[in-house]
Amino acid sequence: MGTYKVTIEDVAALAGVGIATVSRAINNTDGISPKTKEKVLAAVEELGFIPNSFAQNLKFRQTKQIALAVPDIRNAFIPEIAYSVEQVAKHYGYRVVQINTLGNIRSELELLRDMKKLHVDGLIILPLAYPKTLKDLINKASLPISIINYGKTLDTDVKADIVSLSTPEGKLVMEHLISIGRTRIGYAGAPKEIIEERFFAYEDALDQIDRSLVYFGDDFSLQTGAKAADYFVNLTHMPDAIYAGNDMVAVGLLNRFKELGIRVPEDIAIVGVDNNLLCTITTPKISSVSIMGAEVAKVATELLLQRIEEQKKGLFERVQFEPRLIVRESSLSRTRSTHHIE
Amino acid sequence: MGTYKVTIEDVAALAGVGIATVSRAINNTDGISPKTKEKVLAAVEELGFIPNSFAQNLKFRQTKQIALAVPDIRNAFIPEIAYSVEQVAKHYGYRVVQINTLGNIRSELELLRDMKKLHVDGLIILPLAYPKTLKDLINKASLPISIINYGKTLDTDVKADIVSLSTPEGKLVMEHLISIGRTRIGYAGAPKEIIEERFFAYEDALDQIDRSLVYFGDDFSLQTGAKAADYFVNLTHMPDAIYAGNDMVAVGLLNRFKELGIRVPEDIAIVGVDNNLLCTITTPKISSVSIMGAEVAKVATELLLQRIEEQKKGLFERVQFEPRLIVRESSLSRTRSTHHIE
DNA sequence: AATAGTCGTGGAAACGTTTCCGAATTAATT
DNA sequence: AATTAATTCGGAAACGTTTCCACGACTATT
């Protein structure tokens, strides 16, 4: 329709008033009589006038937009986070700009460097790695930032709100595997540079580490899980349990083991991390640690938006969530393997 | 940093030139001597000046932003689409605003109504349903729109580029099931209002329909699949194959059948739609139709951005993709069930 | 050496709002 | 009825760009 370029002046002309009056009418500002207000609103309706938000932004120095930077929206638990962020943002009247950093550290840095250019009111970032340069950039950035933090140890003096999991997820996994009587516990996942805490939990839980029980693949994928399974099977002394760095790896392990005729959990127990939907649809179902994606994202977004709205400087929040272990069939103890949990 | 409010005037002052000259320098416009250009750029660098994009937007009537409206980012194949859209957009220098319509028709309508308020340069929409009102709104909307279309028949006179799958995905499924010798084929999925073509393909492929072999659940979820399995098992005359409306339903069916001691594919074959990752990690692996999410999204985005950049009016594209059937274990023919496919 | 033509530059208008401020009208107070 | 106070309204500035236009300085042509 050609009705697009309707401006406040057109409305003013039609209503026979000044533009200031129109502005007052549509913004419910004081200082306008009910009668003229009605007249103006009628004109607005007739012309289908919608305020140009650039002009408003220019005026207010606000965009009502936040950016959400994640490694890759296609990854396991990220959609849940993206969804949660958008719901909260919508509730506050904000929009969400989506950015995939591709877990590329350079890309995360560039992102922050370009932040001003983006002209968003705030940023939620889920960093894959956490180099010092990133921290410096965050501290130098002149806009509110919330960090969703999985498995990294962050410096405490970062000028951003941080929502993270307090207990390393892996700790729960290891304690559980030990509690069901497993003694040769292996690890499979991406190299420790990626999400180091997941692997550190493994090291911490054991008195001494048998390096042959640790498999580092390229990433946290099904393929990595499958390759890990092949690796473990060829050991002269196989593990009796495996802590998988995430659920994708766990599923990859499980499927390959099944193909190779190895029973889970009888021969090997498997526990993953993320509590992905996948865990409930495999046979056996896979025990996993829920990392509370929706909740974490919700709080991170709320903190960010409150900071924006209240123009809060300093006093950065540190919120901790506790991961939850959900025990399923893949890690039932042998002695009570008939006992049904979940 | 307090460097935030740096404006073009500050740069001009520092460089000792006028603001017009600064503008010319940073935009590589003609009519400026190399010497002053250098001087200006030095000032830009020193002050860390970044043009205010609102002001630019206001000037250019452009946002360099597009909106992507999907039912729910958490759903099966949507993240792949979102990812693909963002990649293409980035390549063109555009940003993507993410909107979950929640498959709520009202919400999709409101979205279009609010489109002008959003002030994006274009919209990519993946509609769940396709009521006439939506078409009217699209036609009335004054901004470029690309529709990603799965399983709906759209009026040809919609004023938008449309990228869709040509053959109803379900046709492939039905032909395949018939070709492997199944005679009592059932359907399980959401009510036909949701993605009607998927069910229509079922009707079309059969000479006569046994209503008892059709199960409509609430949605396309694991639960719907499980409930459907319960339903089919209780029939006096069970089907020997099931066309599942999507992979979630297929997985739900499979798992419940396994719990009930029914063998797949020996007793019942199952084929899903979407070619979700899930299909490869179940036992048996599930045959499915790939709906080419990444490719469809890529083309839809390219069409939109080209339309925006070239200010193209009319001449709306209709791009068709062919779905691809990927045969896995869940629908091997009984007679050659030892033959390994994928 | 004088004129025409380039080139480089700055001033100012324009994009569409919001809001300050002053003017004009109306209502309230004595 | 006259002054004051309150209310309603319009003009204009401001937000930070880009770009049109005009002007001056310089080079090149005769």
Closest to B128 measured CA to CA, from B184, B64, B193: B193
A80-99 pLDDT, tens digit each: 999 999 999 989 888 898 88
What's the CA gap between A107 and A113, in Å, rounded? Answer: 10
In this complex, do A82 and B98 lie within 8 Å of one another by their Cβ atoms? yes
Backbone angle region of A123, left / alpha / beta, with phi > 0 → left and psi within -120 to 50 → alpha: beta
- pLDDT higher than threshold 50 for residue A76: yes
Q: Please give the helix or strand (H or E) that residue B309 lies within, else none.
A: helix B293-310
Q: Please give the helix or strand (H or E) that residue B205 lies within, else none.
A: helix B196-205
More confident residue, A84 or A61: A84
Backbone angle region of A246, left / alpha / beta, with phi > 0 → left and psi within -120 to 50 → alpha: beta
**Closest partner residue to A140 among B1, B52, B99, by Cβ?**
B1
Q: What's chain B's length in residues?
A: 342
The nt closest to B27 (CA vs C1′) is D18
- Calculate the angstrom distance between C1' of D20 and CA of B59: 14
Residue found under tokens 């005729």 = A261
Q: Are A269 and A180 in contact (CB under 8 A)?
A: yes
The B241-244 sheet, strands edge to edge: B214-216, B185-189, B241-244, B269-274, B287-290, B324-326
**Within a 13 Å sphere around the CA of A78, how many CA atoms are in the beta-carbon half?**
25
Give the tokens for residue A175.
Answer: 């304690």
pTM of model > 0.85: no
A209-224 pLDDT, tens digit each: 999 999 999 888 888 9
- Chain B residues 289 to 308 whose Cβ lies within 7 Å of strand C are none
- Side chain identity, residue B102: L
Give the tokens for residue A90.
Answer: 């919508």
What's the CA gap between B208 and A181, in Å, rounded? Answer: 58
Radius of gyration for chain B, computed over Cα atoms and rounded to the nearest angstrom: 26
Beta-strand runs (E) in B257-317: 269-274, 287-290
Residue nearest to nucleotide D16 (CA to C1'): B55
Strand A287-290 to strand A269-274: parallel, antiparallel, or no bridges (unpaired)? parallel
Kindly give the confidence (pLDDT) of every residue in chain B, 342 residues in length, as a single tens digit, with 9 standing for 90 and above.
334 578 898 898 888 888 989 999 888 888 888 888 888 888 888 888 888 888 888 888 888 889 999 988 887 789 999 999 999 998 988 889 888 887 666 677 677 666 666 778 899 999 877 777 788 888 877 789 999 998 777 777 889 999 998 777 889 999 999 999 999 999 999 887 777 778 888 999 999 999 999 999 988 888 899 999 999 999 999 999 999 998 989 999 998 998 899 999 999 999 999 898 889 888 899 999 998 989 999 999 999 999 988 878 878 999 999 999 999 999 988 654 444 445
Q: Does A104 touch chain B (CB under 8 A)?
A: no
For residue A55, which residues of chain B lie inside 8 Å, CB to CB?
58
pLDDT at res. A192: 75
Q: What is the sign of the dihedral through the CA atoms of B65, B70, B76 and B77? A: negative
Q: What is the DSSP secondary structure assignment for residue B123, as one 8-state letter? A: E
For residue B45, give the 3-state DSSP assignment: helix
Q: What is the DSSP secondary structure assignment for residue B84, as one 8-state letter? A: H
